[in-house]
Amino acid sequence: MAEAISLAAARAAVLTCPVERAPVERVPLAAALGRYLGEPLVADGPWPATDRSAMDGFAVCAGSAAIPAGTHLPVVGESLAGKPFAGALQPGQASRIMTGAVVPAGADAVVPVEQTSGFASDAVELRADVVAGQNVRPMGSEVAAGQQLLAPGRRIDAAVVGALAVLGVTEVAVVRRPVVAIVATGDEVVPVEQAPLPHQVRESNSWALAAQVTECGGQAVRLGIAPDEHDGLRAMLERGLADADVLVTIGGVSKGTHDLVHGTLQELGVAEVFHGIQLKPGKPTFFGRREAGGGARFVFGLPGNPASSFTVFDLLVRPLLRRLLGDQPETELAELPLGASAWKPNSRLQAVVARLGRGDDGRLAAALAPPTPSGDPFSLLAGDSYVLLPPGARSDELAAAPVVVGGRGAQLP
């Protein structure tokens, strides 16, 4: 194994390596939630499309001079959201109007009903001065025709779905989901439906990683369990390199006699970017790249312990997938105060499971989960993020200082 590099250097390598965004495809609007925009979202016309009322009340013609309070005007019609006023409003006239309705031609102001004598009669008394432009949403004041509303790479959430519907977009251009092949390794690993013997464990890591891939917009393909034997391992790795944009292996990347993944990847033409990071858990992590006719293939070799593979995915694999989707993952880390917590100092940077919450002062803070071994498959249930603790850090040194926190796929405030 090469000399381990810092997590910061490893993230820099992942965030700066050349990538080509996945190609664009079109999906129905109903299937767009959670996907990433493949093209700019551009307004096809002005919004509002015409002058609209911001209030329930009366449309009037104020002109260049204010209409003084106490003025009485005849009410000559009404403008409703689905039924606009017919014709043009003349100076000295008023029209009932509802919120969102089209402001009649000739009108230039809306008087809230609360500032009038009300809707009850065919005449209205204005009980406040009225000036041109008040309570009117002018055409194009919110969005201009041709204005770019969103750039490619934006994840489509419920608000974006609403905007697409407003613009009449029924077929949405989205980035194709990067395909991530996942290979678990180890003779001690058995399928989840099988009862393990005392020397065996159920293969849970690929299921968790597949869920992480799906959460961040990729398409996960679980290829199965590769044996601790060269030919069977090589065949499965070749399949992953041929069919996927990213290959993720689990286990077999350390220094043991049966850790065959790194050497086999070299045989298959994968060039090492780094092998080993100064992080607990996750030290044996491998990252490499293979050039292919259809574009580069990226490879991550993750440790076999559940906390290690899960954590390294969030800190390194997820940012690469977001780049392939056109997103920018630089905001995944933030500095927050550390709540009352205890931990054991370590010579390496530690990624410790934490839970975000409000401190006594009301500010967002991170509280560490109780320490557990990296092989504990249930340790991740205790938190929703990670705290990165500097090498050798003691509780009394960091209790009042900000720490770097990474969310599980969600951008932090």
pLDDT at 347: 87
Nearest-angstrom CA–CA distance, 125 and 119: 10
Token pair recorded at residue 217: 């917009």
Nearest-angstrom CA–CA distance, 252 and 288: 15
pLDDT at 358: 80
Same topology between domain 27-47+143-175 and domain 48-142? no
Token pair recorded at residue 185: 């390794």
3-state SS record for 77-93? EEEECCECCCCECCCCC
Per residue in 93-148, pLDDT tens?
999 999 999 999 999 999 999 999 999 999 999 999 999 999 999 999 999 999 99
3-state secondary structure of 74: strand
Q: Domain coordinates of the chain in residue numbers?
A: 7-23+177-328, 27-47+143-175, 48-142, 333-407
Residues 6+ apart with CB under 8 A from 55: 97, 99, 110, 111, 112, 113, 135
Q: Answer whether CATH 3.30.70.260 is correct for domain 48-142.
A: no
Superfamily of domain 333-407: MoeA, C-terminal, domain IV (2.40.340.10)
Per residue in 256-305, pLDDT tens?
655 788 899 999 999 999 999 999 989 999 999 998 776 789 999 999 88
Strand runs labelled E in 61-127: 72-79, 94-97, 109-112, 123-125
Q: How confident is the model at residue 411 (pLDDT cuts 50, 70, 90)?
A: very low
Q: Are 275 and 1 in contact (CB under 8 A)?
A: yes
Whole-Å CA distances, 12 to 2, 67, 107, 319? 18, 64, 59, 10
Better-scored residue on pLDDT, 113 or 388: 113
3-state SS record for 332-391? HEEEEEECCCCCCCCCCEEEEEEEEEECCCCCEEEEECCCCCCCCCCHHHHCCEEEEECC
Q: How confident is the model at residue 388 (pLDDT cuts 50, 70, 90)?
A: confident
pLDDT at 370: 81
Better-scored residue on pLDDT, 305 or 46: 46
**What's this model's pTM, rounded to 2 decimal places?**
0.82
Per residue in 2-43, pLDDT tens?
689 999 999 999 999 999 888 999 999 999 999 999 999 999
pLDDT at 341: 67
Q: Which CATH architecture has domain 7-23+177-328?
A: 3-Layer(aba) Sandwich (3.40)
Mean pLDDT of 76-85: 95
CATH topology of domain 27-47+143-175: Molybdopterin biosynthesis moea protein, domain 2 (3.90.105)
pLDDT at 22: 87
pLDDT at 390: 84
Question: Residue 233: phi, psi to the nearest 5?
Answer: -65, -45
